[in-house]
């Protein structure tokens, strides 16, 4: 099992799925996601920008290895889209693929391994040697459920590779800048100022040469940048949700790195 410090967000451990070890394992449905409680920033892929920007602000983490993040709250430990049990507060909502992938993921079992293996978090309550549920194996062969899980995990990895290329291009063009959003609530003496994230420098984007902008438009990159910029207006919606839910906004947030 992998050690906790090396694990990505949500995962407490990783175990390779095996037809020998997990022959009698089943998956049972769960209508809550307790692992989402208190998670305010979720990684997203560029494939998801058009859908995410309708519901959540999209920002970029700080540091040299920046990644896109969907904000589910403005402050660490706050997620306005789920209740204290991890049940979604609304039905019409796009759930990021990173969330839907859990508790599975593709991982290298050894640093030198070339192939990725389908693994799962053994601490998840949705998978185990249950009497009821959908089987992961039929004999020594993966069930249709397992094949679907593997296909989704592979698609996620491919989207992740496209996202890495997208981020590399952003950094090469020097389009990222330190972000800041100021929200002035009615009756407040001072505005709430949120920092600790990166965003696209719109002035630099507008000033780019025509051939560069044309290339970005043809590649599909330009619409993604504007999906991010348009989504930032939802910061004020998150602020209002936190106030409504009694989760008092704080002056700054620090997205997951």
191 within 8 A of 182, measured Cβ to Cβ = yes
**250 — pLDDT class (breaks 50, 70, 90):** low
**257 — pLDDT class (breaks 50, 70, 90):** very low
How many CA atoms lie within 13 Å of 64's alpha carbon, on the beta-carbon side? Answer: 0
So what's the pLDDT on residue 251? 56
So what's the pLDDT on residue 89? 85
Q: Which range, of 41-50, 150-159, 183-192, 215-224, averages the lowest pLDDT?
A: 183-192
**255 — pLDDT class (breaks 50, 70, 90):** very low
Range 221-243 average pLDDT? 94
Question: Quick one: three-class SS letters along the chain?
Answer: CCCHHHCCCCCCCCEECCCCCCCCCEECCCCCCHHHCCCCEEECCHHHHHHHCCCCCEEECCCCCCCEEEECCCCCCCCCCECCCCCECCCCCCCCHHHHHCCEEEECCCCCCCCCEEEECCCCCCEECCCCCEECEECCEECHHHHHHHHHHHHHHHHHHHHHHHHHHHHHCCCEEECCEEECCCCCCCCEEECCCEEECHHHHHCCCHHHHHHHHHHCHHHHHHHHHHHHHHHHHHHHHHHHCCCCCCCCCCCCC
Integer Cα distance of 43 and 166 in angstroms: 14
Q: What predicted TM-score, i.e. pTM, was given to this entire model?
A: 0.89
Closest CA to 71 of 171, 163, 181: 181
pLDDT at 252 over 70: no
So what's the pLDDT on residue 100? 96
Closest CA to 157 of 6, 39, 8: 8
pLDDT (tens digit, 9 = 90+) per residue, 74-131?
A: 988 999 999 999 999 877 889 999 999 999 999 987 777 778 999 999 999 999 999 9
For tokens 């930032």, the residue is 232
118 within 8 A of 17, measured Cβ to Cβ = yes
25 within 8 A of 128, measured Cβ to Cβ = yes
pLDDT (tens digit, 9 = 90+) per residue, 17-69?
A: 999 999 999 999 998 999 999 999 999 999 999 999 999 999 999 988 899 99
Integer Cα distance of 24 and 186 in angstroms: 58
pLDDT at 218 over 70: yes
End-to-end CA distance of the chain: 23
Range 199-214 average pLDDT? 92
């Amino acid at each position: 099992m992998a050690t906790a410090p090396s694990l990505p967000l949500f995962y407490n451990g990783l175990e390779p799925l095996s037809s020998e070890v997990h022959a009698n394992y089943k998956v049972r449905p769960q209508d809550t996601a307790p692992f989402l409680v208190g998670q305010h920033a979720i990684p997203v892929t560029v494939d998801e920008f058009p859908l995410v920007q309708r519901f959540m602000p999209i920002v970029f983490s700080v540091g040299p290895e920046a990644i896109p993040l969907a904000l589910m709250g403005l402050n660490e430990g706050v997620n306005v889209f789920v209740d204290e049990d991890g049940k979604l507060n609304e039905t019409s909502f796009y759930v990021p693929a990173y969330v839907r992938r859990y508790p599975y993921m593709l991982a290298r079992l050894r640093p030198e391994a070339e192939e990725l293996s389908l693994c799962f978090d053994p601490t998840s309550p949705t998978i185990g040697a249950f009497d009821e549920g959908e089987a992961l194996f039929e004999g020594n062969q993966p069930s249709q459920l397992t094949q679907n899980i593997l296909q989704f995990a592979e698609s996620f990895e491919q989207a992740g590779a496209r996202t890495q290329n997208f981020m590399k291009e952003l950094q090469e063009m020097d389009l990222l800048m330190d972000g800041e959003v100021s929200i002035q609530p009615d009756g407040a003496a001072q505005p709430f100022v949120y920092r600790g994230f990166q965003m696209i420098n719109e002035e630099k984007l507008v000033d780019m040469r025509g051939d560069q902008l044309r290339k970005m438009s043809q590649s599909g990159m330009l619409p993604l940048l504007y999906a991010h910029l348009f989504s930032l207006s939802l910061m004020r919606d998150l602020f209002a949700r936190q106030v409504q839910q009694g989760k008092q906004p704080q002056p700054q947030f620090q997205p997951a790195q």
